[in-house]
Structure 1
Amino acid sequence: MTYLAHTAHSQFGALWLSLVGWTLTCMSLGLVQWREWQVSDRKVVTSGVAWVGIWRACFNSYTEVSEGFRNMHCRSIRLQEASTPPEIAAGQVLMLLSLLVGLCGNAGGVCAMRSAYFGLGKNSSIRLGFISTGVLCLLAAVLSLVPLVWNLSSVVTNQTIRFPPEFKLPPAPDSQRVGGGISVGVVGSVLMVVSGVVFCSYRLPERPEPGREQLHPSRSSPSEPENLRVVSSTGRDNPTFEIQEFF
């Protein structure tokens, strides 16, 4: 089998990018700060700020606790509820699929790197493994970017969410802005895209055509004896050799 470790250095870096991107996607999925609502009515939302994620809606409140302390009030956002907006419902489904596909892509990348560095399997199977890994990374990035961009658009256009009464949130915020959850998810998706492109760009080394030999310019051919007689313009005569030749 052809030695291929030196051909996969870029893919080794892409594997690290993919792992970091997948980790950031996991973090984005768990963060509640996808949307940051500014609320003027502070009777319940005493901090004036509420956070809306794809799984929960939370806010800090200083009511019903001792003075100087605060309590975070959170409610779960369920997929089957009629009040759940479509962009959040899509985020719950597509982000989980993105994690699953990204995990398969990273596992495939580890197997492909192992085959390339340790000379396991055929050359064609190694290239197919890298391409499959790249496709899975790109698919994972697309699956996560769809809900991220959708929720980002909802924030920019100041879309409202009519939560049930138990959420204790107003039907519309005074203003809202993008939270850290969307930012982290976008960075992770971009890293997955870059790694997928690098994986798909892997190429096997070209094999020399049979019957063709590349001669080193410093080597002389037996059929060309004149190449053996090379006189250096900077050389000097050996006087000892001349004396021995004279006698």
Structure 2
Amino acid sequence: MYLVHTAHWQFLGLTLGFLAWILTMVTAGLNEWRLWHMDDVSVITSGVAWVGIWKVCFYTHVLPQMEFCRRISMSDSFLPVEIPVAQVLMALAVICGLAGSISGGVAMRMVYFTVEDRRNIRLVFILTGTLYLFSGSCSLVPLVWNMNSVLINSTIDFPPEYYLPVVPVRQQVGTAIGVGIFASILMFISGLMFLCYKYARHTLRSVAPRSTSNPLRGPWTTTAQRSNGVNKGSDNPAFLSEEVSC
């Protein structure tokens, strides 16, 4: 059965899911989750520090053209709970997004190239949609949580070696959160597309058997004479008419 025409939306969903997976990786690696604005520029010359889930960066007098960064570990006791949770969930979102893209590629291959073995096609589509939805959920939860912490101006008690005050003048939502929320929405759309796929089970039309007549001999039928089980063939009517006329 030809099924390519039944999976156009799912092919679009695979494209969106792969794009969302790339954006999810970019979100996990960006430092601009929180922007801390400070009045004291004696150390932080830019007056802005970029607080991510893996490190904190800002510009200093020592290397004005390069960012000074300090890593953030999950075991750091001064971190609020939303940052370690974001580290775990974003890593899980990247893994599930990759698995969903691979599963979606297998599903598309079964639709476009497989003719005989399609027993598990619905299972593969459901698995792809579930992985995409789970990946979008894993990334959306820490994004919304950290955005809420920024909006309520939640503080982080950084150690002295980070050169950051406990309370900034103001906080701003970084571009990483916006990119991550957009990626999560694409993940949800892609997952729903795969879950909504319906396997086309059309009843094959009954085809009439082809004619077994010999096209070289035409539609005429001849009867064979059998005598004692031996086929003697048939007489030509033209020869019979000639014998009678003679």
Coarse TM-score class (shorter-chain normalised): 0.7 to 0.9
Q: Any idea what the Cα deviations from partners look like across 1:93-119, whole Å, max 9, x if unmatched? A: 110011011110000000010010012
- 1:116 equivalenced with 2:111 (yes/no): yes
1:64 aligned to which of 49, 62, 73: 62
The residue type paired with residue 15 of structure 1 is L
Which residue in 1 is equivalent to 2:131? 136
Number of residue pairs matched? 207
- Is 1:162 matched up with 2:160? no
Spell out, residue by residue over 1:179-232, the C-alpha distance to the aligned partner (whole angstroms, 9 max, x if none).
011111111111000000000000012433999xxxxxxxxxxxxxxxxxxxxx
Give the whole-Å Cα distance in 2 for the aligned partners of 1:64 and 1:138: 46
Show the 5 A alignment for 1:14-163.
14-61=13-60, 63-65=61-63, 69-120=64-115, 122-163=117-158
TM value normalised by structure 1:
0.80
Query: Structure 1 residue runs of 4+, over 6 Å off?
Result: none
Q: How far 1:51 moved relative to its partner?
A: 0.6
**Aligned in 2, Cα 1:144/1:121: closer, same or farther, shift over 3 Å?**
farther
Shift of residue 120, structure 1, vs aligned partner: 4.7
Choose 1 or 2 for highest CA Rg.
Answer: 2
Find the aligned partners of 1:154 and 1:31 in 2 and give their Cα distance.
Answer: 18
**Aligned residues of 1:4 and 1:119 also touching (Cα < 8 A):** no
What is the DSSP-based 3-state SS (H/G/I as helix, E as strand, rest coil) of the residue aligned with 1:152?
A: helix
Q: CA deviation at 1:173?
A: 0.5
Deviations along 1:136-175, one digit per CA (max 9) or x if unpaired, are 0000000011110100110111101011111000001110
Distance change >3 Å, CA 121–CA 22, structure 1 → 2: farther
Per mean C-alpha deviation after superposition, the further-off stretch among 121-130 and 17-26 is: 121-130
**Unmatched 5+ stretches in structure 1:** 212-247
Identify unmatched segments of 5+ residues in structure 2: 207-246
Within 2, Cα distance between the matches of 1:150 and 1:27? Answer: 18
The reply to whether residue 199 of structure 1 matches residue 198 of structure 2 is: no
Cα distance between partner residues in 2 of 1:64 and 1:207: 72
- 1:126 Cα shift? 1.1
Q: Which residue type is aligned with residue 62 of structure 2?
A: E
Aligned-residue RMSD, C-alpha: 1.7
Would you say the 8 A contact 1:41–1:48 is kept in 2? yes
Distance 1:44 1:182 in 2: 27
- SS of residue matched to 1:162: coil
What is the distance in 1 between the residues matched to 2:106 and 2:191? 15
Q: Is the 8 Å Cα contact of residues 3 and 119 (structure 1) preserved in structure 2?
A: no
